[in-house]
Structure 1
Amino acid sequence: MKLFDAHCHLQDPRIFSLAPQLIRSSLDSGIAHFAVNGLSENDWHLVKQMSESHPSVVPCFGVHPLFVSESTDRWFTVLRQYFDSTPSAAVGEIGIDKGSRGREIDFNVQVEVFKKQLELAKELKRPASVHCVRAFGDLLDVMRETGPFPEGVILHSYLGSAEMVPELARLGAYFSFSGFLMSMKLQKAKKMLKAVPCDRILLETDAPDAVPKLDLNDLFLVEGDPSLSPRLQTLGENPHLRAKDDMSVVEKEAPGLPKEMLNHPANIQKVLTYVASLLEMSEEELAEISYSNAIRLFCYEGSKICQG
């Protein structure tokens, strides 16, 4: 089975030195491509470097909402330069966030930066990978205003409601699922998944975060350095949950991971197994569907995987 990790951060400083090893071992296990998403001006060069060294890496450049305040006055000019010099790049990670950390950043500024990058994605005819935490109503408003998006918008680690899926899909949304899905109440997750059209399903790891909620002995884990980045989330601090009552009883009682243990892109196999079980389809069928969707989405002018 071929798999496509539709959203990850292998340039994260906690694991950057291990990235070649992680990519190599993941390729051996069937992951053919990785969409590696930048977060700010400070790491775009690392994403570009990684894509030049590894044909399996699809580079993505964007300003994450939690890094908006770190942007220089020239951020948009610099972003355009990266796209000019990297024809294979998509847009990401961008978005809006009303979670606990997102409230520290002016939401109007988040929306302004988000809209500017969505408009750039439309202009460049590239897909955009979108982060949304506790702001799905606002997201829908922005997408209605700036869309539709024929090249696609990836709602990464999607944990929104089933009711919002049809309208988001109509505007061009794809729905990408990570280990965070395992923190959602089972019946709610199943209802939401079954609302997603098969041609809009993607799988991801969000590595090095979003460790699947499984027995640690069943996972591939990476020993990283948590002091290098503030993004690490323990199981009980899932930033994508819309509210505390989204967590299952098991999740609330689960202990956090040791801080040095990080997610490995090979764990996309665990996401595949979980999503397939909720959709009541075989892993082979879901792997083929999600891989084909990702190849179609990331196949645009300049892309290096159109023949993948």
Structure 2
Amino acid sequence: MIKLFDAHCHLQDPRIANKVPKLIETALEHNIHHFAVNGICEKDWHIVKQMSDTYPCIIPSFGLHPWFIADRTTNWLTTLRELFDTNPSAAVGEIGLDKGSYGKKTDFADQVQIFTMQLQLAKELKRPASVHCVCAFGELIDIMKSVGPFPEGVILHSYIGSAEMVPEFVKLGAHFSFSGHLMGMEESKVKKMLKAVPFDRMLLETDAPDAVPKVSGSESIFLVEEDENNGDPIEMVNHPANIHFVLSFVASLLDVSKEEVADLSYRNAVRLFSYEGSKLQQGNSLTSDKEE
């Protein structure tokens, strides 16, 4: 039976946070057993922690995303350290660099400083780190070279970089996580990039509630938020169960079976998140309380 691990998502997002019990139940029915849930700012770290305490299937990650560094408090790093001290299963993330249209709203020198501090923290604490990168892969690899290597792993989340950069990232300990964003890119480029990634460094994710796969609505599983005033749908957002469409797309471009891609990505994620002190290392059953 196929088992899947959503290596990067945001179940704490306000668009879906109140739907998490049903969302996890549905995902489990579709054989998604584990979720790496990434905090992005100080305001949501406690929500991620609470979710991971409630659902052992959730591996928590705490980090300051580049879009939100301007809102940080003076004590943000102390708070982050305390979270890791009290949550030995937690990874670092989502952290990163962004020179895209949205990221340009935040000073890039500030982004570099905050990202470097968090990457150093991940290495110091021997935790894997989930990294967001938009239009800044050159700067990313330079910083990783200066701080790394990273034997505990760095997850390049929703990777859409070039095939040519893959070997350099691999040398530093990078893993490559693929989401529905791939399905909006030129297929030949995606295929070349996928084939450059070693099988033991490949992960699958949804980035839910974002990165909705580009497939027909009749085939998709979406959460639909309804307008309370008239009941009309106002937004369609991604669901972790849609990882099956990412799986199918990746497998088709690699010319291998879905079962093989599912198995290798699952084993890679379990290994990556099974550092000392984690829920996986402790042997807990990573299922929701509802399933237990």
TM bucket, shorter chain: over 0.9
Name the structure 2 match of 1:83.
84
TM-score normalized by the length of structure 1: 0.88
Give the whole-Å Cα distance in 2 for the aligned partners of 1:259 and 1:190. Answer: 34
Q: How far is the alpha carbon of 1:259 from its aligned partner?
A: 4.9
| Secondary structure at 1:302 match in 2 | coil
Question: Residues 83-122 of structure 1: matches in 2 within 5 Å?
Answer: 83-122=84-123
Question: Residues 293-308 of structure 1: matches in 2 within 5 Å?
Answer: 293-306=268-281, 307=283
Is 1:68 aligned to residue 69 of structure 2? Answer: yes
| Secondary structure at 2:191 match in 1 | helix
| Secondary structure at 1:139 match in 2 | helix
Is 1:45 aligned to residue 46 of structure 2? Answer: yes
Which portions of structure 1, spanning 4 or more consecutive aligned residues, are displaced by more than 6 angstroms? none
Structure 2 counterpart of 1:101, which letter? Y
Q: Give the alignment's Cα RMSD to 1 decimal.
A: 1.1
Deviations along 1:25-81, one digit per CA (max 9) or x if unpaired, are: 101210110000000000000000000000100000000000111111110001011
Q: How far is the alpha carbon of 1:117 from its aligned partner?
A: 0.4
Name the structure 1 match of 2:243.
268
Give the whole-Å Cα distance in 2 for the aligned partners of 1:48 and 1:196. Answer: 32
Question: Where do 5+ consecutive residues of structure 1 fail to align?
Answer: 227-257
Q: How far is the alpha carbon of 1:146 from its aligned partner?
A: 0.6
Give the whole-Å Cα distance in 1 for the aligned partners of 2:132 and 2:218. Answer: 30
| Secondary structure at 1:260 match in 2 | strand
Name the structure 1 match of 2:181.
180
Q: How far is the alpha carbon of 1:24 from its aligned partner?
A: 1.1
Name the structure 2 match of 1:286.
261
* Contact 1:175/1:202, CA 8 A, preserved across alignment: yes
Question: Residues 189-204 of structure 1: matches in 2 within 5 Å?
Answer: 189-204=190-205
Give the whole-Å Cα distance in 2 for the aligned partners of 1:135 and 1:188. Answer: 18
Aligned length: 277
* Contact 1:14/1:225, CA 8 A, preserved across alignment: no
Question: Residues 136-215 of structure 1: matches in 2 within 5 Å?
Answer: 136-215=137-216
Give the whole-Å Cα distance in 1 for the aligned partners of 2:180 and 2:217. Answer: 13
Give the whole-Å Cα distance in 1 for the aligned partners of 2:225 and 2:172. Answer: 38
Give the whole-Å Cα distance in 1 for the aligned partners of 2:238 and 2:226. Answer: 12
Question: Where do 5+ consecutive residues of structure 2 fail to align?
Answer: 228-232, 286-292
* Contact 1:91/1:121, CA 8 A, preserved across alignment: yes
* Contact 1:8/1:36, CA 8 A, preserved across alignment: yes
Q: How far is the alpha carbon of 1:225 from its aligned partner?
A: 7.2
Deviations along 1:107-151, one digit per CA (max 9) or x if unpaired, are: 000010000000000111110000000000110111111110000
* Contact 1:15/1:225, CA 8 A, preserved across alignment: no
Structure 1 counterpart of 2:73, which letter? T
TM-score normalized by the length of structure 2: 0.93
Structure 2 counterpart of 1:288, which letter? D
Give the whole-Å Cα distance in 1 for the aligned partners of 2:213 and 2:234. Answer: 15
| Secondary structure at 2:165 match in 1 | helix
Q: How far is the alpha carbon of 1:224 from its aligned partner?
A: 3.2
| Secondary structure at 1:224 match in 2 | strand
Name the structure 1 match of 2:134.
133
Give the whole-Å Cα distance in 1 for the aligned partners of 2:144 and 2:33. Answer: 30
Name the structure 2 match of 1:233.
none
Q: How far is the alpha carbon of 1:184 from its aligned partner?
A: 1.0
Give the whole-Å Cα distance in 2 for the aligned partners of 1:124 and 1:168. Answer: 21
Deviations along 1:269-298, one digit per CA (max 9) or x if unpaired, are: 110000000010000000110000000000
